[in-house]
Amino acid sequence: MTTLVYLIPVALFLGALGLSGFLWALRSGQYEDLDGAAERILIEPDDRPGDVLQSK
Amino acid sequence: MSCCAPGAEMALEVANAASASPSSDEIKLASRSLGGDIHQTELSVPTVHCGACIQAIEAALGKVENVESARVNLSTKRVSIRWHGDDVPPFFAVLGRLGYQAHLFDPEIHEKDKTLSELIRAVAVAGFAAGNIMLLSVSVWSGAEGATRDLFHWLSALIAIPALAFAGGIYFRSAANALRHGRMNMDVPIAVGVSLAYAMSLYETINHGEHAYFDASVSLLFFLLIGRTLDHVMRERARTAVNGLSRLAARGSVVLRDDGTREYVPVAELTPGMRLLIAAGERIPVDGDITSGNSDLDCSIVSGESEPKAVSAGTHVQAGTLNLTGPLTMRATAAAKDSFLAEMVRLMEAAEGGRSHYRRIADRVSALYAPVVHLAAFVTFLGWMVESGDWHRALTIAIAVLIITCPCALGLAVPIVQVVAARRLFEAGVMVKDGSAMERLAAIDTAVFDKTGTLTLGQPRLVNASEIDPTMLAMAADMAAHSRHPFSRAITAYAGFAGEPKLDSVREEPGFGIEATAGDDIWRLGRRGWAGWKARTGGEGRIGGYGGTVLSKNGSIVACFAFEDAPRSDAKATIRQMKEAGVSVDMLSGDTEKACGDVADALEIENFVPALLPSGKVEWIESLTRAGHNVLMVGDGLNDTPALRAAHVSIAPASAADIGRKAADFVFLRESLLAVPLAMEISRKAGRLIRQNIAIAIVYNAFAVPIAILGHVTPLIAAIAMSASSLIVIANAMRLQATVKAMPEATPTRRRSDVVGVAHP
């Protein structure tokens, strides 16, 4: 029974943390271009393949 | 451009023909100032499809002088560019070189979708609360007793408060609004049920009761909000995509003042009597008379006539037509609000009345549903009062009835099917305005097609190329490459002959044709009477119809060109499929009888009506409607717009006039007209699934309600029953995905290999 006194607030706090994280992401516009985000991971910041060899 | 959907590109090629890059004044007018001298311009680039496109555009624009940053939004197919300085950087030229057609995006439409973010926030809050309350409820159901149970109930009550206030607010506001206007909607039973359940549970908690309904009331909200969000996403997504395509009306025009100065004036400030300068490639902003200059006007979007019209001083011109070949000076005779364009908008609004009394299936069902639910709950309360005399027990059971009949499954049934169907259509290149459009499309029995630009591409094609001497054809193609006249573009397609003829100088005579010198010879490509100045002209020559365009060498005609408006690919198959689906097909056009007859013969359409005015098309559709038919209108021109509105449901190609696309319920992006039967088939399947889902919801209630009325429903049963009915409805909607896959595959929208191929050149 006493463990509940800790566990319930901990559970609620973690849940609220997740919720506020989501709301923050929503407000900062991270869901505005979902298709773009999915494609952008395929874009290399510097896409000259030669650079990799030169840096060795 | 190497990547992405070939179909979409073709469709936009057509759009290219009818729009030219806006002037820098126009761009400035459409840009937003961000303080300092930094401006932000929003462009709509409908052909952006994949990662490679994003990279190509951002890299190319980033290198342009004065551009601070460029960001592509793939979901809305938009590019926002921040730039500084007084001169507008050449975005359109850069994008054009990459192969992307860009359009200015209207800043008025550019508003963030506040409702969507509010709905998503509400879903998040309701989901959080529902999860936590469910956790506590499971402990209560599995045997928490006494003080522990009370503690859990109190915690649930606390968690439910923000969820009801924030997420429930959407329903409370809507319900209050409906009641204030003396109407009933589906939000009323939801609002009543949720708040009664909460109040009752609170009473129970205070009195150390065994049962509380916090979990039920909050998870009810959660499920309903999911349905509502899906519904909203579907409508909004298609709407932004449709809005993003090019605009028809000019934003402004260069005005020539009496003192000889030139000034760029927004279209709203143009007044009758002003002298306007219209460069080749610009749209006529208002109705007026030409005072000087010769040119050809593309009137297809206004009148449906496919052949460009030659204009010279004294001709009356209408707003919205495109000036093709030469600069013109005109005198405005009407302000923008009195122009032909505005007239179309008025006709369209007048025609709209016919459609406004259509009510969505969900609305019709809920109109019956809400009173029945309330009546059932109220009768249950009265019955138990008479039976047991225990008001507390009677009220508890009445609430259980309200909750178990929750229109959860009903709330999800319609939007989930529509979202899945809209997704399938989107992948096939068809955008849907809203769910009711699919319901209406499923019910049609008559289809009316416009000719120019719908059944045909609205773009002339050279039909007698095989009869022309290849050397002459190559010569003509070389000359035609210097002009933007539609006929020139059709001839240019035949360029690339090995024995390259050499042209010394080329000049275009607006309204007549192109003259070039090669060595000592003078070549002319254009009107018969002008080009063949030594030949005996007159008559249309051997080839009728669009004949009259010739190539001449030193005044003697050496080749004749015949043009024809090419039917869209698959137009014939489309008509056949429509007929097989039991839909009768008519063709209406503003074009001449001969042009219509040719197309009708080629496409096997029995009924056609030529030479119709815009109001004639509306009358035709209205008479069909009066005869009890549900009419589908497929059209693209400005002259079709009122008809698009008058019909039960309407479809327009992406190359359509901007206001036509806005009036239409569906817009297809690819060249193929097969999108029309495809949209109809998917809509009919979606309609069947929606009716099945509603049937499931009704059957569920038929079982659940008697049990609830008899007082056997515990919170556990209510929660399980509710979730199960929702899950069944969702699973049923997913069947659409499976059935539609069996149809002929449309061109894939993107190919992964291209992304890699472009990323590593």
pLDDT, residue B658, reads 65
Q: Are strands B446-450 and B584-588 parallel, antiparallel or unpaired?
A: parallel
Select from A1, A34, A43 the Cβ nearest to the Cβ of B55. A43
pLDDT, residue A47, reads 52
Select from A1, A39, A47 the Cβ nearest to the Cβ of B74. A39
CB contact under 8 A, A35 and B74: yes
The nearest alpha carbon in chain A to B124 belongs to A19
Q: How far is A30 from chain B (nearest CA, A)?
A: 11
If you average pLDDT over residues B263-267, what whole number do you get?
78
The nearest alpha carbon in chain A to B753 belongs to A42
- CA dist B165 and B360 (Å) reads 29
The answer to whether B655 touches B11, Cβ cutoff 8 Å, is yes
Residue among B45, B48, B53, B55 with most chain A CBs within 10 A, to mutate: B55
If you average pLDDT over residues B153-158, what whole number do you get?
90
The residues, any chain, with a CB within 8 Å of residue B357's CB and separated by 6 or more, are none
If you average pLDDT over residues B1-16, what whole number do you get?
40
- CA dist B258 and B485 (Å) reads 32
The nearest alpha carbon in chain B to A50 belongs to B760
Q: Catalytic one among B287, B450, B636, B754?
A: B450
pLDDT of B11 above 60: no
A 27-56 → B contacts, CB under 8 A: 27, 31-36, 39-40, 42-44, 47, 49
SS3 of B305, please? coil
- CA dist A21 and B573 (Å) reads 52
Q: Which of B221-230, B335-344, B387-396 has the lowest mean pLDDT?
A: B335-344
- CA dist B322 and B301 (Å) reads 9
A-B Cβ pairs (cutoff 8 Å, strict): 58
Ramachandran area for residue B742 (φ above 0: left; ψ -120 to 50: alpha; else beta): alpha
DSSP sequence for B635-663? --SGGGHHHHHHSSEEEEETTS-HHHHHH
- Dihedral over Cα of B646, B652, B656, B659: its sign: positive
Select from A11, A22, A43 the Cβ nearest to the Cβ of B51. A43
The answer to whether B170 touches B119, Cβ cutoff 8 Å, is yes
CA-based angle B713:B716:B718, to the nearest 5? Answer: 50
pLDDT, residue B703, reads 82
Could you read off the pLDDT of B490-547 as tens digits, one per residue?
777 776 554 555 677 777 776 677 888 877 888 888 877 777 766 655 444 444 334 4
Identify the CA nearest to B308 among candidates B477, B468, B452: B452
CA distances from B728 to B131, B608, B696, B699 (A): 21, 47, 8, 12
Q: What's the distance, CA B480 to chain centroid?
A: 35
Mean pLDDT of chain A: 76
CB contact under 8 A, B128 and A19: yes
If you average pLDDT over residues B370-397, what whole number do you get?
83
Residue B450 is among the residues annotated as catalytic for this protein: yes
The answer to whether B254 touches B262, Cβ cutoff 8 Å, is yes
- CA dist B669 and B656 (Å) reads 10
- Dihedral over Cα of B608, B609, B611, B617: its sign: negative
Is the pTM here over 0.80, yes or no? no
Could you read off the pLDDT of B599-618 as tens digits, one per residue?
888 888 888 888 777 788 88
Which range among B415-419, B482-486, B518-522, B650-654 has the greatest average pLDDT?
B650-654
| B55 part of contact set with chain A, CB < 8 Å | yes
The nearest alpha carbon in chain B to A25 belongs to B121
The answer to whether B113 touches B237, Cβ cutoff 8 Å, is no
Q: Chain A residues with CB inside 8 Å of B760's CB?
A: 47, 49
The answer to whether B177 touches B191, Cβ cutoff 8 Å, is no
Residue among A43, A46, A51 with most chain B CBs within 10 A, to mutate: A43
pLDDT, residue B657, reads 66
Could you read off the pLDDT of B296-313 as tens digits, one per residue?
887 766 666 667 778 888
pLDDT of A56 above 60: no
CB contact under 8 A, B159 and A44: no
- CA dist B469 and B243 (Å) reads 46
For residue B88 the two structure tokens come to: 């507008």
Instruction: Give residue B23's pLDDT band: very low, low, confident or very high (50, 70, 90).
Output: low
Instruction: Give residue B22's pLDDT band: very low, low, confident or very high (50, 70, 90).
Output: low
pLDDT, residue B242, reads 55
pLDDT of B109 above 70: no
Select from A23, A32, A49 the Cβ nearest to the Cβ of B73. A32
| Higher per-residue pLDDT: B386 or B52 | B386
CB contact under 8 A, A12 and B148: no
The residues, any chain, with a CB within 8 Å of residue A10's CB and separated by 6 or more, are none
Give the count of beta carbons closer than 10 Å to the beta carbon of residue B706.
12
Select from B75, B124, B132 the Cβ nearest to the Cβ of A22. B124
pLDDT of B8 above 80: no
The nearest alpha carbon in chain A to B139 belongs to A4
Instruction: Give residue A21's pLDDT band: very low, low, confident or very high (50, 70, 90).
Output: very high
Residue in the structure block whose two tokens are 């021109």: B637
pLDDT of B248 above 60: no
Return phi, psi of residue B652, to 5°.
-130, 145
CB contact under 8 A, A33 and B73: yes
Evaluate whether ipTM surpasses 0.90.
no
CB contact under 8 A, A19 and B72: no
Could you read off the pLDDT of B429-486 as tens digits, one per residue?
787 776 678 888 888 899 988 887 788 877 777 777 777 777 788 788 878 777 767 7
Return phi, psi of residue B116, to 5°.
-65, -45
Could you read off the pLDDT of B674-689 as tens digits, one per residue?
888 888 988 888 888 8
The residues, any chain, with a CB within 8 Å of residue B648's CB and separated by 6 or more, are B355, B358, B440, B443, B444, B625, B630, B631, B632
The answer to whether B408 touches B401, Cβ cutoff 8 Å, is no
Return phi, psi of residue B463, to 5°.
-100, -20
